[in-house]
Every structure is written in C-alpha cells, then in structure tokens.
Chain A
Amino acid sequence: MPTYLDHAASSPLRPEALDAMLPWFSERHANPTAAHRLGRRARQALDDARAVIAEATGFERGEVVFTGGGTESDNLAIGRNRPPGSVIVGATEHPAVLEPAERQGAHVVGVDANGIVDPAAVAAHVDGTTEVVSIMTVNNETGVRQPISSIADAVHAVSDSVLVHSDAVQALPWLDLAEATSGVDMLSITGHKIGGPQGVGAVVVRDGSMPDPLLVGGGQERDRRAGTQNVAGIVGFAAAVQASLDDRTERLARIDRLASRLLTELMASIDGLVPTVDRAVRVPGIVHVTIPAVKSEPLLFLLDEQELACSAASSCASGAQGASHVLDAMGVDAANAAPLRLSLGWSTTEAEIDAALEMIPAAVSRLRGVS
C-alpha cells in the first residue's frame, strides 16, 4: 500500500471528479462550439464549470479563462514582449512565473527567512513603466503564505494601472481565494492539486485586464485562449473545486491535525530536524523540513523503495534532484541538511502518517549509519 505525501506535486483524483468526467469520455463527445444540441450541452457544461471557478476565486464567470494548467495560466498572465523592467516578481516564484518574467528582464524582489515578500519592497519597484507584478499566494515548496492582498493594495496605491497577478495553484486547496487574494487582478489555478485531472487549469482575469493571448485561431474562451476546450477535464476540474469548497472546513481541520502530528513526531524522533517555515505563516498541508547529516537523494531513494512518495527541493527535467531557488532565496543552507517536503491532501489518512513516521526516521538512521 503506497503512502502518498506528495499532494503538492499532484493530488489523487477525487471520486467526484472522476464521476463527473466519465460521461464526457463517452456519449457526451461533442465540440462545445458546435451549434447542435450535443454541442450546446457541452457548452453548458463549460458554463457550469465556469460558475464554480468564479465562485471559488471571487471573480465573475466571464473572467474565467480555461487553460492547459498552471504553467500556461502563469505564462499568459506574465505575457510576452513586455519592456525590460516592466515586470516585478518574487524570488521564490514557481519557474512558470520566474522564467517568462526573467526573459523579459524582470525585477526580482527578495524574501525574508520565512520566504515572505515585503509589500513595501514590491511597491518600491513600481513606477510608471510597471505593467505586471506577480507574487504567488502560497509557495509550492514550503507552503508559506504571501500577504498577497496587502501587496496588491500597496502596488495599486502607487499605480492603479499595474496588473497584480498571483499564482494561486498551491493556495486553491487551502484558502478562500476570494478573501485571501482580494484586490488581485489575475489568478492562476490548476486542477490536479485539488483532486482534479492534470493538464487543465484556469486563469481568472479582471474584466479589461486581459494580456495578449498565447494561443490564437478559433475564438474559444472569448478569444483569450484558442483551441477546443478539454471539456471532460474542465468538468472534472470544476467538480474537484466544488468538492474542495464543500469539505473545506472539515478537511482543513483534519489535515492540520495530521500534519501537526507528523511534524511534531518527526522532530522528536530525528535529531536536528527542523521545520523550514513557521506554522503560523504556512498552509496546513505542506510540511517542509530540513534534516542535517543526510542527503535528499538517497533519502528519497530509500523512501521510494518502501513506496513512500514525497519530494525534496525540486526536480529538474532529467529527474535529478536539483538545488532549490526557493531555499536559496530564503538563505537556508541546503548543502548540509536535506530538504524534505511532505505534502498532505484530501485523501491523506492517519495510517499514512503512521507509515511515514515509521519509515522516515528509519531511513534517516540508516543513512546516518545508526541502526
């Protein structure tokens, strides 16, 4: 029985999402742009899904643009061919934000030891040439929350016309986005962090703020994202979001308790293990720790052998463990302590926490030569 503590990478599909999608893989196969009744039914499904996403994000239905996932949403929001210096991002952003921003000569704003961006530091970079500011709502490695609403307010206080974008991919499972991201002009979210399918997401954009589309030709999504929509995926995405809204209170309390137990008992059983960020500033489901005197790669290898799935810093394209730009920016010394990210989600059980609490200390002891 696998122990799955890698929800921040991808959560298992919720049964609600699977059930909702199945008809769209069989009898409901039509193109949502078609004029016939089968097509109209597909279009209706997209509209229903749009309403769910709008409710979850605090935006209007017409402001929801479905995409192929978080990376596309981020790329779309950052835009292309902007003048050098007109984009401002945080140092710990996901590469889907950092890379397109840096290609356009972005200002990169540093973070404190918890990985938090100071709103005043962001605002200090804003001037008449600024077009987009992008700061994530929750960090994908550490789970730390950014004061994104305050950042939006601080930026808009300097210039109303600046678009504030937030990658809320990791926030969606945990936060009420309408409240947590109020004042933000654009949000990126994706399905597979909350039990939806992979490869489908959305960018929600305040009316009138839409950057140039990345894909053109066909007019779908009101000319903001061309190409036949992934109807089944979008239906599954919305079903997962709805399920996630429905059980949020119960789920957060349960995950918080499981994650706290995991962290407390790991700290008690592994010498030198410390949480990377304070509990008060992170979402409940991401437990990021560093473990001195071991390396991440062999640790993950041993855990994988026992079918415990979790992550270290980040994985590069080859599958090798790479250094983390997030930990670098925070000033965490990852050379002498292995970073380990244990991320919980909707399906996490007490039994999985029990298993992890057996396996992780045993693997660390083995690597430290103590058994």
Chain B
Amino acid sequence: MSERVLVGMSGGVDSSVAAALLVDHGFDVVGVTMKLWGGESDSGCCSVSDVDDARWVANQLDIEHHVFNFGDEFLEHVVNPFVDTHRTGGTPNPCIECNRHIKFDLFFERAAMLGFDRIATGHYARVATLEDGTFRMQRSIDPLKDQSYVLHMLGQDVLSRVLLPIGGWNKPDLRAEAERRGLLTASKPDSQDVCFITKDGGREKFLGARGGLTPGVILTEDGTKVGDVPATELVTIGQRKGLNVSGMSEPQFVVDVNLQESIVTIGPRRSLQDDETGFTQPVWAHKPFTGNALVQASAHGTALPATVELDRVVWHDKRDRIAPGQSLVFYDNDYVIGGAIAT
C-alpha cells in the first residue's frame, strides 16, 4: 500500500503543484486547507476564496480535500504573540511562529492522529539526508524564493516525515508546470507579507485596534530632540524611512527604541553597526552547535559569516544591528543547523 500523505494546500500555486507532484509520485494524497484567520485579510492563507481555490485544485487532481479550523490556535500562538512582541518593543516574525506552532506542529500532530505517514507543504526548501542518516533542512534551488529561513525550527521528528516537493523547482518553471497541468491557480499572484495584515491598514491599524500605540519622540545620540513618531511600537531598529527628520548632515537610522520612555534614538550608519548579537530560545536541526557558521537575520537577507556561541553570534565583520524579535538562522553551507531569536 502506498504511503499516505496529508498535504497543506493554501490555495496558492506552490502548494497546488506540490500536491500534483505527490499524486504523480504515487502517494495516497489528501489535501487540507488550514483555516487560520477569520478577520480582515487581503488574501493570504485564510480567506474563503483561497479555500475554494484549494478545493478546486484538489478536484482537478482527483484527491479528497478537507478544511482544518486552527483559528483559535492561530490567535493564541501567532496573532497574540505578534501583538505582545510589538508592545514590548520587538519585531516579531509571525510566519515563523505559524510554522513553529501551527503548520509543523498542530498540523503534523493532526496528520499523525489521523493515520498519515507523512505531511507535505508547498514551501521552497529541501530536506536532505546526511551520511549519518540524520536529516537537514536545505535551501531551495531557487535563491529568490528560498524559505529555509522560515522553516529553520524543524527538528528530526518533523524533518523525517515532511515532504517538500517543490524544493527542487524555481518559481518560473513551477508556474509553467502549473500552466501545463491546467491548474486553476497557475497565474494566481504570490501572497504577500503577513496574511492577517491588510495592505490598506498595515500594522498600524492592526496593532492600533488591539491595545493602543504610544506616541514618542525622536532624539539624536546626544539627546537632542529632532522629531516625533506617532507610534513607538512600530519603529524598528535599522529603519531609515518615514522618520521625517531633515537637516541632518548624513543619512540617519534608528539605532535604539526605548518603549518604556517612548524614545526613538537615531544616528548615522556607523552607530548602527554591531560586532555581536545576543539570542534566546535556540532550536537545533539535530544537536546544539557552537562554532563558525553563516547566519541569516531576515527572510531574504544575506547569510554572513559569524561564530555561534552559547547565547550570541559574533560577526566576523561588523554589521547593521538586528531588531530584537527577529530570527537568526545558522547555516552550514546550504544546510540549516538551527536558529534562535535575537535579543
């Protein structure tokens, strides 16, 4: 009997092709759309029309399709922490928390409970088996789409049972494949940004509706007031645009955000440079690691050489400060070693 695979289908083109490839491969495939967010949304992974698209594609592939309602859990593990992290001055990455708590935890657990051998998703990343028989998350072959950063938290239990069928595809070829197969979602635009934040309202409207944003002042490093910000919580370290300070001799960046006193400090690029970045809550693909690695600090950032220590990374060359709350992901070449949250 063929292996049973539960594939997450968001209603987008990537997971549509992923499901099609699994069917081709001879797996016994069932599609699931996770309903995560019932509130306002531009599209993302949550709307009724996305569920309809996923259902349509499942029908095209002649596989069963179900909807799992993880709305309560999404609120608890992704949305509320997103709000709380902002409130305490951090810059959260809700997609990482969604992968950590929902897509590769609840969904994985549900699949096992229902008797599936494996789960699959349409993420751009690969799972590699090393010589010692352990598994590693490996970057996609498409560097522009690579999502290994947001999947860095997967441990051996998940890695041993997850299939990422499109990790070996680049986006243009994948779209062409969807077109060739006549899949409904072939020319559907990629989802952008965070699914529960609308383009019109942005983070400001979302957070503003959930407990107030605090106005603050902008100071230079010597304490001179040079402006105001409407919402201190929305200012991110490293930010340059939208500060409305003029008359400075050189470009100014946010170098510090003090939420207790509602003070945003700006300074020149050199004041933003750090030798090291502390971290907390490390997770590992296999075993805890210290030593030289490439470290990436944003979803589409460049991985830079650094030494990973117990609670910090020491950069081999100074780099721009990383906003607390962002994830640091440690790579050995293309392979994810682990990751942590910057402090």
Contacts and interface: CB of A to CB of B under 8 A. Distances in A.
Interface of A: 297-298, 301-302, 304, 317-322, 367
9 contacts: A297-B68, A298-B110, A318-B51, A318-B52, A319-B51, A319-B55, A319-B66, A320-B69, A322-B69
Contacts of B35: 318, 320
B69 A302 contact: no
A317 B71 CA distance: 14
A367 B113 contact: yes
B67 A302 contact: no
Contacts of A322: 69
B317 to A, nearest CB: 49
A301 B67 contact: no
Contacts of B48: 317-318
B69 A321 contact: yes
Contact of B114 (A298, A317, A318, A321): A298
A169 to B, nearest CB: 24
Given A318-B35, A319-B51, A301 B69 contact: no
Contacts of A297: 68-69
Contacts of B55: 319
Contacts of A318: 33, 35, 48, 51-52, 67
A304 B32 CA distance: 14
Contacts of B68: 297, 320
Nearest to A301: B114
Interface in B29-77: 33, 35, 48, 51-52, 55, 66-69, 71
B57 to A, nearest CB: 14
Given A297-B68, A301-B114, A302-B114, 19 more contacts: A297-B69, A298-B114, A301-B66, A304-B66, A317-B48, A318-B35, A318-B51, A318-B67, A319-B51, A319-B55, A319-B66, A319-B67, A320-B35, A320-B68, A320-B69, A320-B71, A321-B67, A322-B69, A367-B113
Contacts of A320: 35, 51, 67-69, 71
Interface string B102-122: 000000001001100000000
Contacts of B52: 318
B113 A298 contact: yes
A295 B68 CA distance: 11
Contacts of B110: 298
A91 B35 CA distance: 26
Interface in B65-105: 66-69, 71
A298 B116 CA distance: 12
Contacts of B33: 318
Nearest to B32: A301
B102 to A, nearest CB: 14
A319 B51 CA distance: 8
B142 to A, nearest CB: 30
A328 B51 CA distance: 26
A297 B35 CA distance: 12
Contacts of A301: 66, 114
A2 to B, nearest CB: 14
Nearest to B50: A318
B33 to A, nearest CB: 8
